[in-house]
Amino acid sequence: MSVNLKPLEQQTIVITGATSGNGLATAREAARKGASLVLAARNAEALEEIAGDLRAASARVATCTADVACDEDVERIAQTAIEAFGGFDTWVNDAAAAMYGRMDEVTMEDHRRVFDVNYFGVLKGSLVAADHLRKKGGAIINMGSVLSDRAMILQGAYSATKHAVKAATDALRMELQRDGAPISVTLIKPAAMHTPYPEHARNYMDEPARLPPILYDPRLVADAILFAAEHPKRQLYVGGNGFLISLGGRFAKRASDAAMKAFGRRLQTDEHQPAPPATKDNLYEPREDGSIDGHQDYYVRRTSLFLEAQKRPALTLLTATAGLGLFLLPRWGRSS
């Protein structure tokens, strides 16, 4: 069965992890484009403040205070969408927990908590969404990472969850296709984004955590998510630098390992830019929220040509071919 996705202005979109970073960027852009929204996160105060701002700009917004690690909370998110808007068309699994530390330093309790949020929360959200969309159709969009392809030293637990999310997303896609369900299932793979990720992370290191360069604007992730809400896509990378990291993990494993061992810690710490105290460590409890961008001051790339190429591959190929022709034309003329 073919998958036909509605224009954004006709959609109701569920977004978990909606109070900061990529989720908040997606919520604001979806509202601007006319979608109805169901926003879910643990921080009730931040959730209502964000919803109030969006409603003041004429957006249609419902909220659900929820921890995606709890199955009953995820089911409440779906019920909120049904009660507020009669259902939903796209479900975005964005909520995630981050952690920095050696695999043997992190407690088993913390390892399990990261999996409960990042993997089981995404899995439960995907299954709830698939059940609702099985007949009417729609999109399930899961937040992976370039670390779905290449593990990062000192982010082993997070990397493991993103590998698991990729496998679950691929398996669910195949099963829904086999059933003929009109559901698009997309995995988004961002590079390092300039979000409050390192500020919210539980940190076992002695120094303040940071994300390794190059950092990209979280609004690029919002662009990828909302493109996938209208156009069936298997996966979308956000940031060409991240794609190169993925390629390294696939085709240059030993060299990538060596680079991680040599530079991984240095590129993930910054003693001069500690996290604001109110944001630190939201692994078990919500902390200060409401910001798309991280507070650390680094260069941020605002565009991703690689993302644009994935969104419009035919146009990209045509443009590249035409550009090559224009480059070669004078040389052909001189040689004739």
Q: Please answer whether residues 74 and 67 qualify as being in contact, where contact means their C-beta atoms are separated by less than 8 angstroms.
A: no
Catalytic member of 158, 197, 216, 237: 158
Instruction: Confirm whether 299 is a catalytic residue.
Output: no
CA-CA-CA-CA dihedral for 245, 194, 114, 166, to nearest 10: -40
Phi, psi (rounded to 5 degrees) for 176: -70, -40
Q: What angle do CA 263, 241, 163 make, to 5 degrees?
A: 80
β-partners of residue 65 are: 41
Angle between helices 71-85 and 121-133 (to 10 degrees): 40
Residue 320, classified by CB atoms within 10 Å of its CB into exposed (0-12), middle (13-18) or buried (19+), is exposed
Task: Tell me 272's DSSP state.
Answer: T
Q: How does 250-283 read in b/e, with b if 16+ C-beta sit within 10 Å? A: eeeeeebbeebeeebeebbbbeebbbeeebbbbb
Q: Which residues are catalytic?
A: 158
